[in-house]
């Protein structure tokens, strides 16, 4: 039966592991793009379109990409089309998408958030719209209501170093909100020294840190202050978007001269920009290690491929793709080696959109293990790889090259409050794979042992690895 209780669970062992050990585990969403203000204000949504597709200029760009492939006009995607028209356009689109993970995710979202088990078709569209909107109109159906419904214990948002973190503080001050919302340090703007607005951004960072940035030394002091500020409100993660990366070594005097040029609004060469980024990243890695943080390196993204549409609609609207930087593994190896040399290598998770590099990164990480359990992790099947095939391949590569039982599991990487069934989807694929191995005699058919591994990967490893719940240790 289509997407029944045993969806993807094709062996008795898979069913036993999922229903007995994975299904009821809480969720730690350690990388997402939810708006902290919407969480704190406990936003109530107007209709299914706002919640599912488009909300105040933002939304689910995964869905938008498919709608454009179907030829849906932009006014029914990110434009001013009527909500029901937009919804119907997505319904028509999803009917053309067998094999796409969104086909399965969308059905799971309707089932788990709304209790709607109808197939998404044009025939069923009016009924889905009516029933979903009836639920949305209920008083408890809100941002926080959805977070609690899915059993989420911790949400890690993505935050600029200059953020005042006021929303995170407000939630932390509540007596018992039922979950944590913690910031993640994302220094993209701090790293983009070649960007036209870099000097202006330094003024923002100065204001946030209380340290006037006039040179490389004061820049580092301001960055360190912001790391400490994030730590104070519970932040334990950094996330660096290395869309492409070259390791360019430079001494402190050289970096200081590059920063001076940028602060004086003088152009910075590509080589100089890479030297600055290398030095900044190494400095920040030392800060993360001293604070006991985990660093996430997201790599090989080709951003804003369609210049015209980027100019019209801005970033994060569905025009990114998989990057394929040659030699990236070597560049990352140089970065990790330099950090290790200076005893400044934090726990690190390596993500790449280019699946061809997973083996390279998985073997590289094994060269830098030690000191703590699974200091280095191969990140989950991220973004375009977040699919049945991609999740399976990532688990197999991790298992082949390291200790799968130490894997810290899945994340949503999403701007949507309906995305939490992606954790369920991941757990079903995990149980399917382990169940197959048990059925094949590759691993012992021992429920206590296998069930423990499933529970660890689904929840406990993330709970212990990141330090979000230090009070529970």
How many angstroms separate the CA atoms of 393 and 372, rounded? Answer: 26
Q: Is the pLDDT of residue 472 over 80?
A: no
Give the residue carrying structure tokens 């889905």. Answer: 128
| DSSP code at position 160 | -
Q: Provide the token pair at 65.
A: 């990409």
Task: Report the 10 Å Cβ neighbour count for 44.
Answer: 17
- What span, in angstroms and rounded, lies between the C-alpha atoms of 281 and 221? 14
What number is the average pLDDT over the span 440-468? 97
Return the bridge partners of 372, or none. Answer: 370
Longest dimension (CA), the chain: 68
Average pLDDT of the segment spanning 362-375: 97
Distance, in Å, from the CA atom of 142 to the CA atom of 130, rounded to the nearest integer, reads 17
Give CA–CA dist 397/358, Å, rounded.
7
- Could you give the strand order of the β-sheet that contains 237-242, starting from the edge strand earlier in sequence? 184-185, 237-242, 294-299, 347-352, 376-378
Taking all residues of the chain, what is their mean pLDDT, rounded to a whole number?
96
Distance CA 281, CA 292 (A): 16
Q: Which of 197, 290, 185 is nearest to 241 (CA)?
A: 185
Helix 198-209 vs helix 216-232: crossing angle, to nearest 10: 50
Can you tell me the mean pLDDT for 40-57?
Answer: 92
Domain 145-472 grouped into CATH 3.90.180.10: no
- Quote the pLDDT of residue 58: 80
Question: Alpha helix (H) ranges present in 95-124?
Answer: 101-109
The answer, yes or no, to whether residue 354 has pLDDT greater than 90, is yes
Q: Please, which residues have CB within 8 angstroms of residue 147's CB and are 6 or more apart in sequence? A: 39, 155, 178, 179, 417
**Residue 14 pLDDT:** 98
Q: What is the mean pLDDT of residues 202-216?
A: 98
175 Cβ partners below 8 Å, 6+ apart?
none
> pLDDT of 101-111, one tens digit each?
999 999 999 99
Confidence band for 89, pLDDT divided at 50, 70 and 90: very high
Average pLDDT of span 134-153:
97
What tokens appear for 433 in the block?
């794979």
Return the pLDDT at 473.
Answer: 61
Cβ contacts of 77 within 8 Å, gap of 6 or more: 53, 54, 64, 67, 68, 86, 89
Q: Where are the domains of the chain?
A: 46-136, 145-472
Q: In the block, which residue shows the tokens 């970033």?
A: 315
Give dist(CA 345, CA 295) in Å, integer: 9
The pLDDT value given to residue 374? 98
Cβ atoms of residues 28 and 286 within 8 Å: no
Angle at 363 between CA 422 and CA 464, to 5 degrees: 50
Residues in Cβ contact with 30 at an 8 Å cutoff, skipping those fewer than 6 apart: 154, 156, 237, 408, 411, 462, 466, 468
Cβ 45 vs Cβ 51: under 8 Å = yes
CA atoms of 56 and 139, how far apart (whole Å): 21
Render pLDDT for 309-318 as a digit per residue (tens, 0 to 9).
999 999 999 9
pLDDT score of 425: 98
Architecture of domain 46-136: Orthogonal Bundle (1.10)
Give me the half-sphere count of Cα atoms (radius 13 Å) on the Cβ side of residue 328. Answer: 25
pLDDT at 436 over 80: yes
Instruction: Give the pLDDT of residue 158.
Output: 97
Q: What does each C-alpha distance from 126 to 55, 94, 132, 429 come to in angstroms?
A: 21, 15, 10, 32
Q: What percent of the chain has pLDDT over 90?
A: 96
User: Does the model's pTM come out above 0.95?
Assistant: yes
Place of tokens 């356009």: 89
pLDDT for 56 equals: 74
Reported residue count of the chain is 473
Percentage of residues in the chain with pLDDT exceeding 70? 100
* Spatial distance between the Cα atoms of 460 and 303, rounded to a whole number of angstroms: 34
Residue 161 · residue 133 · CB < 8 Å: no
Token pair in block for residue 325: 């930087």
470 pLDDT tier (thresholds 50, 70, 90): confident
Give the chain's radius of gyration (CA, Å). Answer: 23
Same fold, 46-136 and 145-472: no
- Please indicate whether residue 187 or residue 471 has the higher confidence score (pLDDT): 187
Is the confidence at residue 471, as pLDDT, over 80? no
Would the CA dihedral through 397, 400, 401, 406 be positive or negative? positive
């Amino acid at each position: 039966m289509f997407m029944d209780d045993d969806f993807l669970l094709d062996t008795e062992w898979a069913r036993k592991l999922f229903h007995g050990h994975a299904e009821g585990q809480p969720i730690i969403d350690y990388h997402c793009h939810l708006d902290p203000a919407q969480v704190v204000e406990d936003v109530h949504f107007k209709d299914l379109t706002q919640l599912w597709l488009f909300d105040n200029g933002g939304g689910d760009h995964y869905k938008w990409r498919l709608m454009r492939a179907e030829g849906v006009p932009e006014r029914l995607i990110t434009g001013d089309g009527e909500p029901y028209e937009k919804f119907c356009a997505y319904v028509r689109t999803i009917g053309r998408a067998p094999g796409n993970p969104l086909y399965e995710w969308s059905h799971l979202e309707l089932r788990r958030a709304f209790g709607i088990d109808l197939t998404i078709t044009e025939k069923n569209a009016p009924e889905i719209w009516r029933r979903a909107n009836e639920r949305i109109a209920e008083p408890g159906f809100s941002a926080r209501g959805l977070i609690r419904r899915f059993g989420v214990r911790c949400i890690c948002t993505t935050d600029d170093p200059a953020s005042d973190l006021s929303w995170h503080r407000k939630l932390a001050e509540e007596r018992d909100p039922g979950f944590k919302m913690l910031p993640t340090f994302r220094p993209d703007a701090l790293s983009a020294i070649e960007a036209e607005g870099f000097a202006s951004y330094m003024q923002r960072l100065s204001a946030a840190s209380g340290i006037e940035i006039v040179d490389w030394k004061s820049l580092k002091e301001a960055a360190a202050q912001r790391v400490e500020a994030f730590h104070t409100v519970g932040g334990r993660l950094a996330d660096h978007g290395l869309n492409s990366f070259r390791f360019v070594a430079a001494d402190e005097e050289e970096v200081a001269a590059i920063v001076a040029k940028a602060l004086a609004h003088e152009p910075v060469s590509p080589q100089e920009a890479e030297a600055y980024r290398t030095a900044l990243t190494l400095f920040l890695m030392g800060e993360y290690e001293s604070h006991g943080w985990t660093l996430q390196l997201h790599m090989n993204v080709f951003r804003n491929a369609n210049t015209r549409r980027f100019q019209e609609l801005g970033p994060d609207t569905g025009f990114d793709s998989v990057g394929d930087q040659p030699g990236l593994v070597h560049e990352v190896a140089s970065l990790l080696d330099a950090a290790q040399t200076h005893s400044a290598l934090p726990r690190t998770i390596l993500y790449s959109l280019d699946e061809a590099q997973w083996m390279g990164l998985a073997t590289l990480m094994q060269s830098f293990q030690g000191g703590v359990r699974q200091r280095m992790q191969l990140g989950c099947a991220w973004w375009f790889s977040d699919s049945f095939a991609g999740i399976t391949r990532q688990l197999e590569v991790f298992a082949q090259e390291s200790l799968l039982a130490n894997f810290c599991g899945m994340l949503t990487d999403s701007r949507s409050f309906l995305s939490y069934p992606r954790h369920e989807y991941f757990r079903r694929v995990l149980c399917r794979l382990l169940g197959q191995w048990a059925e094949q005699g590759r691993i012992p058919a021992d429920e206590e042992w296998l069930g423990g591994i499933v529970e660890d990967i689904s929840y406990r490893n993330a709970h212990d690895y990141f330090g979000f719940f230090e009070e529970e240790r």
